Amino acid sequence: MDMEASCTPTHWQALTHHRQQWQKQLRQLFHDDSERAGRYSLQAGPLFLDYSKSHLDDTTLQLLLNLCEHQQLDSAITRLLHGAEVNNTEQRPAWHTALRYRANSVIPEPSVHAEVKATQAKMRAFVEQLHNQQWNGFDGDTITDVVNIGIGGSDLGPRMVCRALSDYHRPGLKVHFVANIDGAEIHQVLQGLNPATTLFIVASKSFTTLETLENSTTARNWILTAGCPENQLRQHFVAISTNIAKATSFGIDPDNIFPMWDWVGGRYSLWSAIGLPIALAIGWQGFEELLNGAATMDEHFASAPAADNMPVILALITFWYSQFWQARSQAVLPYCHQLQRFPDFLQQLDMESLGKGVDRHGQPLAYHTGVTIWGTEESNGQHSFHQLLHQGTQMVPVDFIASLMPNHPHTHQHRELLACCLSQSQALLDGKSLQVATQELLDGGKTADEAASLAPHKVIPGNRPSNTLLMERLTPEALGALIALYEHKVYVLSVLLDINAFDQWGVELGKQLGTRIDQALQCGTLPEEWDGSTRQLAEKILSARD
């Protein structure tokens, strides 16, 4: 594929020619350069990145950096961080970084900073009320459980962070999450909870999201059925929204509504009031440490030259593999049980941002944009999909993530976990040759014929790329830096691809059609213009209810 709509032929042709001439195996790169690991590593705040197991050399990096210069990346970073209208289709900034400015930062827009600080003060007061048992339910008992109702960015980020930082949870208050319109989820969550001591956070930027409104209505009816008077509902519901009017009409007390802003995208919103369940789970100090970690990465992103800029380097590696090595997916593998939901979070962050078919000017793209992000907590994946990584016919670049120290006392198991992490990246790099596989079989007692027959099945090609990200310990600060790292990586990719990372028009069509189909299912009359498949499936649904 060509990329001439965005890059000059010179830049594209230079990278294409470089790729065509590339003959180096990863093992050879390390053999030829004893300092390679150190030269292709970076430290940014609490994060250490080793990207030396990638198919690149100084020439590759320079060609990619030339592309950054051509795409005016430095200017694009400044525009993002200073609140320029980088979301051109919706004519607004994407200013999530303004939510985590430090006290000593240079504030580009003081009025915005004042709004953010006012909202954070309201959040802090609310969090401290609940932690100090000063917020009571309708029967006078203190709140013991908080249920966050939201979906997409109003769920994935807070849910991931609360799970990741479970070692830092404050006692006395449990936080739960409901997202799916499938009533099974809210039914399961509400079982075992006491309506009189349960508080709901309705998190919806627009306050029009079907799943969130349906689940909130179910929660409201659950509370009322338990004996809560209408005038006491305010003790059990708060909202986070830009649409104050709709939240109020739903029945949320205006004093219980935490504002958002249209310049904060949903998948970037955990730093805003959408992060309220995080603050309730880990305390206000912990939430501030999360913000502080992200601010550290923001400052690195703003100040480090591209060649030493961790988000830029990660983006360039993904760009190199997706555009020139035909890599269509990327695995993100946290060797950390607490980070089990991090790949899910990254799926929205990356794929909703980069899954675009036209450039910033609305012109169809002649090159690939986003890749499929997938993964799971490790070492579980080693016993499921790693087979494809090692011996499959497609190359899948991998990001390994691990902490050097555990937040639990079982240090020998953590050592074994880290050994698993390193062994997988080393196996992807080295592989196993036919000669080695044959000799192992002979040493194991196989005959020459048996070894010759079986050895090809045991060959692992190696020469497969990976990055490894390390932190000393999974803390709120380290997690904040990790999230911000991937946020900025996605933005850099959008600049290189000349697309808008901050809209998601592809999501809207399904919502529109879903409303129409639901109306048809309610009335039992199916439109004639529907395609045969949709009509057949709808008829199955209707017949099942007869």
Q: In sequence order, which ranges of 304-410 are alpha helices (DSSP H)?
A: 310-324, 342-346, 353-354, 386-391
Catalytic residues: 352, 383, 511
User: Is the fold of 15-56+305-430+464-475 the same as that of 108-283?
Assistant: yes
Classify 525 as helix, strand or coil. Answer: coil
Q: How confident is the model at residue 311, as a pLDDT? A: 99
Q: How confident is the model at residue 395, as a pLDDT? A: 96
* Element spanning 111, H or E: helix 110-131
Structure tokens at 224: 């009322």
Question: Are 287 and 107 a contacting pair, CB within 8 Å?
Answer: no
Give residue limits of the domains in the chain: 15-56+305-430+464-475, 108-283, 506-545
Q: What's the predicted TM-score (pTM) here? A: 0.96
SS3 content of the chain, % helix, strand, coil (to 5): 55, 10, 30
Q: Which CATH fold would you assign to the domain 15-56+305-430+464-475?
A: Rossmann fold (3.40.50)
Classify 467 as helix, strand or coil. Answer: strand
Q: How confident is the model at residue 4, as a pLDDT? A: 44
| Residue 537 CB neighbour total at 10 angstroms | 12
* Side chain identity, residue 32: D
546: which DSSP letter? Answer: -
Architecture of the domain delimited by 108-283 = 3-Layer(aba) Sandwich (3.40)
Cis-peptide, bond into residue 379, ω within 30° of zero: yes
Per-residue pLDDT of the chain (546 residues; tens, 9 = 90+): 344 444 556 888 999 999 999 999 999 999 999 999 999 999 999 999 999 999 999 999 999 999 999 999 999 999 999 999 999 999 999 999 999 988 766 677 888 889 999 999 999 999 999 999 999 999 999 999 999 999 999 999 999 999 999 999 999 999 999 999 999 999 999 998 999 999 999 999 889 999 999 999 999 999 999 999 999 999 999 999 989 999 999 989 999 999 999 999 999 999 999 999 999 999 999 999 999 999 999 999 999 999 999 999 999 999 999 999 999 999 999 999 999 999 999 999 999 999 999 999 999 999 999 999 999 999 999 999 999 999 999 999 999 999 999 999 999 999 999 999 999 999 999 999 999 999 999 999 999 999 999 999 999 999 999 999 999 999 999 999 999 999 999 999 999 999 999 999 999 898 899 999 999 999 999 999 999 999 999 999 999 986
Question: Are 92 and 262 a contacting pair, CB within 8 Å?
Answer: yes
Q: How confident is the model at residue 110, as a pLDDT? A: 81
Q: How confident is the model at residue 106, as a pLDDT? A: 62
Q: How confident is the model at residue 2, as a pLDDT? A: 42
